[in-house]
Amino acid sequence: SQFEEFASSIVAGVNDSFLTTHAWLRQPLRQPAAVRLGKVLEEVGPSITTTTLTNVVTFLIGWLTPTEEISIFCFGSAMALGFAYIYTVIIFCPILYYCSLEESKDAYEGCFRRKGKRFFRAVLRGYSCVLADRRTAIVLFIGTIVYWYFGIMGTISITAKLDTEKILPKDTPIHRPNRLVENIVWAEYYPVTIIVNNPVDVRDEDHLNEVNAFVAEFENLPTCRGSNFTMFWLRDYIDYYWGVGVNDFDFYFDGDEYPDEKEFGFKKLAGFLGNPLYKHHKAFLKLDYNQT
């Protein structure tokens, strides 16, 4: 994290310094150094100020995130970017001013330096000729079309995927159970949780058939494993109601709670959820005994 903050500050500082240096070199040497520096700040000052302010504000917004690691990284990056901007203005620009005093002096050009200049001039002329050639334009056009084609096809076929392994820290012990779940459990099936907000009235036969048809529709999907992999409390409750619950005494049952129930209903639900074989269904139900 500290290395990333350092790297981001270095990148931002180099960007500001590069823009300042590039603008400085484009100014005429015959102008006084103070005038050159003023024109440089006039040209690049708004640019580096706007980019720095935008980056600092963005990282400060990220500082408000609840994740501690991200918050620390964003705060450190915002501080680093701010200091990089300040150092560019109060240190780097004065260094350019004092270095300009050496530019006016006549420097001795040795044999190696003259050969180097001739070499780079030849390279520049050759490079310019290549760019001005029509064949180069055709090759660049074809390359651009190919690049756009693969870029568009890749964008259309891209799939957004956020792996848990990429989010977890490298030294966390959660990686081992996560690999077991991804490589073994999810390789066989992926559990899907379906939440029904409206309460199910099992006493209404039409309503009950609608719920069963809804579950059967999911189980008949081509990628579904079938009813053997479905954890549906209502099926177990029906088996309990007409099976185990018929002869067993239900000490959870209050006869006055559902006086109108003559057929299948809720009167054995408390005993069903208290049974050791079916009590795990409590996690799937939200009960309100005040409703009838």
Mean pLDDT by 10 residues, the chain (292 residues): 52 77 85 86 89 89 84 86 88 85 64 84 92 92 96 86 75 85 79 81 84 88 83 86 63 47 74 85 78 54
Contact indicator for 1, 80 with CB cutoff of 8 Å = no
Buried b / exposed e along 251-284 (16+ C-beta atoms within 10 A)? eeeeeeebeeeeeeebbbbbbbbebeebeebeee
Report which secondary-structure segment, H or E, holds 85: helix 68-87
Report which secondary-structure segment, H or E, holds 56: helix 33-63
The pLDDT value recorded for residue 106 is: 58
The pLDDT value recorded for residue 255 is: 45
Q: How distant, in Å, are the alpha carbons of 105, 131, 140, 176 from that of 134?
A: 43, 8, 10, 59
The pLDDT value recorded for residue 126 is: 92
Residue 213, CB-side half-sphere exposure with 13 Å CA sphere: 6
The pLDDT value recorded for residue 128 is: 92
| Residue 72 burial (10 A CB sphere; 0-12, 13-18, 19+) | middle
The pLDDT value recorded for residue 257 is: 46
Tokens 């903050």 correspond to 5
Looking at residue 242, what DSSP letter applies? Answer: I
The pLDDT value recorded for residue 258 is: 44
Contact indicator for 177, 239 with CB cutoff of 8 Å = no
